[in-house]
Amino acid sequence: MKVVSLKLLDGGRIKRAHANGIDCKPGDYCVIESPFGEEIGEVFRESTSVKRMWEKIPLEKVLRKASQKDIEFFNEKMRREEEAFKFCRTRIEERGMPMKLIKVKFFTSERKVMFFFSAEGRIDFRDLVKDLAKKYKMRIEMRQIGIRDEARMLGGIGVCGRFLCCMNVLKEFKPISSNLIKDMDIKINPNKISGLCGRLMCCLSYEVGVTINLSDIGEEEE
């Protein structure tokens, strides 16, 4: 199975995808599957012989090599998302709403735009949705996310020097408890065992085989 690593145009997030029989080389721009329809990324690595771990992790597929028209379309999409983010944030501030806007995503497969936000409690955003619907004349969906999902969506570099596991390889979050730390006899230092989200690092579970082994990520078989 051939797996390619791509740097997405949307914020530089890293994705791995099944080449799906398409001849993808480093430097190529490819369109891949996405929960939002499609996304474009630049291939920076290809692996034709990968460890078996990838057979257990569901990967998006490469749909086609990106044309110039595809790239122009996605650049325009990102411009609209940035503009919608600024508009929505302004409305939130004007209404004094206790919420933090995280990201805006337009869908490529339907006329819908999703606004991701975080807040400490429930938010009545009905008037805000009316403002957004009037502006964009399409289906508006507000989605409240937690602090770990916020880190996954915004991305970043962990203390290990790698891209965050949550944005790179994890499909779902595994519960990490303080008991796990005690079982591994790790000295509890919050600065060393907490991720960018402020919660216990997901990779702590690798030590006890709860998820995949970090040393396997993206490496080719010898």
Q: What separation in angstroms does the CA of 65 have from each of 21, 49, 62, 200? A: 11, 21, 8, 38
Domain ranges of the chain: 3-66, 75-145, 160-215
* The pLDDT of residue 174 is above 70: no
Grade residue 130 by pLDDT with cuts at 50, 70 and 90: very high
Query: What is the 3 state secondary structure string of the chain?
Result: CCEEEEEECCCCCEEEEECCCCCCCCCCEEEEEECCEEEEEEEEEEECCECCHHHHCCCEEEEEECCHHHHHHHHHHHHHHHHHHHHHHHHHHHHCCCCEEEEEEECCCCCEEEEEEECCCCCCCHHHHHHHHHHHCCEEEEEECCHHHHHHHHCCECCCCCECHHHHCCCCCCCCCHHHHHHCCCCCCHHHHECCCCCECHHHHHHHCCCCCHHHCCCECC
C-alpha–C-alpha distance, residues 13 and 152, integer Å: 9
* The pLDDT of residue 156 is above 90: no
Of residues 204 and 74, more confidence is placed in: 74
Q: Are 158 and 164 in contact (CB under 8 A)?
A: yes
CATH number 3.30.70 is the correct assignment for the domain at 75-145 = no
pLDDT digits (tens, 9 = 90+) for 12-63: 677 888 898 898 899 999 999 887 788 999 999 887 655 555 555 668 899 9
Question: What is the pTM (predicted TM-score) of this model?
Answer: 0.73
